């Protein structure tokens, strides 16, 4: 699984990691403190029902606690969906997150790939709706998508939902980057209308806690939640994750500041990158997809800067790269390093 995901700082000497797409702001001190406080709870089992954390999520999203399933990161929830429903065929739009392929391979699901067009800026189009045929058991979409950063057009997404409903096809909507996107198009507030819809979220990206591993699924159909829960281990959420998650929900305004910073810095990066004749794809998320013939990954790695080489994404090829949007000082260092690499 070499280089399947970003963040491989363990086999490289790295000073700046632009390969993972997380909140660029420093974590509030009270959230950090909650991790230290959890040390005192290590002699106890976590609350089996995670009642306080679920109650907080229910308030934030204006849903019921029974609509929520907590997981050890979004990846655990994704894998549990595959193990629960054992789909024979699943449809995904590519390029897309490798975790969908990993989940499918775990249970022998045949993946049907819908190739998005670069000429259409990798936007999801109506052809995807037509690809939801009677033999498709599961559809997985990310909104916004990874690695393209695209939000799905509301009209197209509604057609996907309606198609899945009419064909009794399960729809898993990955919204792990939604809270850092330019605008909020979440379906959580409308999920009770659709009994074949699951929405996936994580604290990983929003609060820059990838090492903590805390995610959740929500659905208006509680029977789906109950079925998936049976495929998760007891106490899959540690006291550290539980404490931190409870504190994070008290700092939702932290995300407002992050979105403002991301919007400003994303524009800066786009303008600077285009000066070097690098093709930059428009993004609604906190990361940017690039295309260039220049070997950016290798040359930047020599300067101890890590970006995401996207050549192993199904649907992409050599020359595609993804960079996270970070704080201004780090972004300036990246642009300076790119300039020096290209000019030399």
Q: Is the pLDDT of residue 1 over 70?
A: no
Q: Are strands 320-324 and 287-291 parallel, antiparallel or unpaired?
A: antiparallel
- Mention every residue, 6+ apart, whose C-beta is less than 8 A from residue 289: 122, 147, 148, 149, 280, 281, 283, 310, 320, 321, 322
Percent of the chain whose predicted confidence (pLDDT) is above 70: 97
pLDDT digits (tens, 9 = 90+) for 204-236: 899 999 999 999 999 999 999 999 999 999 999
- Exposure class string for 296-318: b at 16+ Cβ within 10 A, else e: bbebbbebebbbbbbeebebbee
- CATH number of the domain residue 273 falls in: 3.90.1150.10
Task: Indicate the pLDDT class of residue 342, thresholds 50, 70 and 90.
Answer: confident
Tell me: do 260 and 125 sit in the same domain: no
Round to whole Å and give the CA distance between 308 and 264.
22
Please indicate, yes or no, if residue 9 is contained in any of the structural domains: no
* 114 lies in the same domain as 215: yes
Q: How high does pLDDT run on average in the chain?
A: 95
pLDDT in tens, 226-270: 999 999 999 999 999 999 999 999 999 999 999 999 999 999 999
Residues 6+ apart with CB under 8 A from 47: 242
- Report the CATH number at residue 100: 3.40.640.10
Residues 257, 213 share a domain? no
**Are 289 and 201 in a shared domain?**
no
Domain boundary pick from 251, 271, 304: 251
Share of the chain above pLDDT 90, in %: 93
- Same domain (yes/no): 204, 302: no
Domain boundary among 251, 281, 308: 251
Token pair, residue 220, equals: 């208006």
* Least confidently predicted of 8-17, 89-98, 276-285: 8-17
**Same domain, yes or no: 102 and 231:** yes
- CA dist., res. 155 & res. 51, Å (int): 36
Mean pLDDT for the stretch of residues 118-136: 97
Q: How far is CA 136 from CA 85, 91, 217, 261, in A?
A: 12, 7, 21, 40
Domain hosting 114: range is 29-251
- What's the average model confidence in pLDDT over 302-330? 95
Interatomic CA distance for residues 104 and 85, integer angstroms: 11
Domain boundary among 197, 220, 251: 251
pLDDT for res 162 = 97
112 and 87 co-located in one domain: yes
Spatial distance between the Cα atoms of 151 and 145, rounded to a whole number of angstroms? 7
The structural domain count of the chain equals: 2
pLDDT value at residue 11: 74
Spatial contact of 70 and 54, defined as CB atoms under 8 Å apart: yes
Nearest alpha-carbon partner for 290 in 325, 264, 311, 319: 319
| 191 and 159 inside one domain | yes
- CB-facing half-sphere around the CA of 56: CA atoms within 13 A: 17
Lowest-confidence region among 1-10, 254-263, 320-329:
1-10
Q: Are residues 264 and 208 in the same domain?
A: no
Single out the residue of 244, 328, 289 nearest to residue 21, CA to CA. Answer: 289
Nearest to 208 by CA among 25, 16, 22: 22
pTM: 0.95
Q: What is the distance between the alpha carbons of residues 294 and 278, in angstroms, rounded to a whole number? A: 9
Residues 259 and 273 occupy one common structural domain? yes
Q: Which residues contact 94 (CB under 8 A, 6 or more apart)?
A: 113, 114, 115, 116, 313, 314, 315
**Is pLDDT above 70 for 9?**
no
Through-space distance between the first and last CA atoms of the chain, rounded to whole angstroms: 33
Q: Are strands 287-291 and 279-280 parallel, antiparallel or unpaired?
A: antiparallel
Same domain, 225 and 103: yes
10 has pLDDT over 80: no
How sure is the predictor about 344, in pLDDT bands with cuts at 50, 70 and 90?
A: confident
User: Residue 12: what pLDDT?
Assistant: 76
Say if residue 228 is in the same domain as residue 329: no
**Cβ contact 289:149 at 8 Å:** yes
**Residue 229 lies inside a defined structural domain of this protein:** yes
Read off the tokens for 131.
Answer: 């690809």
pLDDT of 6 > 80? The answer is: no
């Amino acid at each position: 699984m070499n280089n399947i995901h970003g963040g491989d700082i363990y086999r490289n000497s790295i000073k700046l990691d632009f390969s993972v797409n997380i909140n660029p702001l420093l974590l509030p001190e009270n959230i950090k403190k909650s991790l230290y406080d959890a040390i005192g709870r290590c002699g106890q089992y976590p609350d089996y029902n995670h009642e306080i954390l679920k109650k907080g999520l229910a308030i934030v999203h204006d849903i019921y606690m029974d609509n929520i399933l907590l997981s050890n990161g979004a990846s655990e929830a994704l894998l549990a969906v595959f193990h629960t429903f054992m789909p024979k065929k699943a449809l995904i739009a590519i390029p897309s997150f490798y975790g969908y392929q990993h989940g499918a391979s775990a249970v022998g699901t045949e993946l049907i790939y819908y190739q998005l067009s670069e000429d259409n800026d990798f936007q999801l189009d109506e052809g995807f709706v037509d690809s939801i045929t009677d033999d498709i058991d599961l559809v997985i979409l990310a909104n916004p998508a990874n690695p393209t950063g695209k939000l799905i057009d509301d009209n197209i997404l509604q057609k996907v939902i309606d198609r899945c409903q009419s064909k009794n096809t399960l729809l898993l909507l990955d919204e792990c980057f939604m809270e850092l996107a330019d605008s909020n198009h979440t379906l959580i507030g409308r999920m009770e209308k659709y009994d074949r819809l699951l929405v996936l979220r994580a604290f990983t990206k929003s609060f820059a806690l990838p090492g903590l591993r805390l995610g959740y699924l929500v659905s208006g159909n509680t029977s789906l939640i109950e079925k998936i829960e049976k495929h998760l281990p007891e106490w899959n959420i540690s006291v550290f994750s539980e404490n931190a998650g409870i504190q994070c929900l008290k700092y939702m305004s932290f995300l407002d500041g992050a979105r403002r910073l991301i919007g400003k810095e994303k524009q800066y990066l786009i303008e600077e990158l285009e000066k070097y004749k690098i093709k930059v794809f428009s993004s609604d998320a906190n990361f940017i997809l690039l295309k260039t013939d220049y070997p950016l990954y290798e040359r930047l790695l020599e300067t101890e800067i890590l970006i995401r080489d996207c050549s192993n994404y199904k649907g992409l090829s050599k020359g595609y790269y993804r960079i996270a949007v970070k704080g201004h000082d780090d972004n300036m260092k990246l642009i300076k390093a790119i300039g020096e690499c290209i000019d030399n």
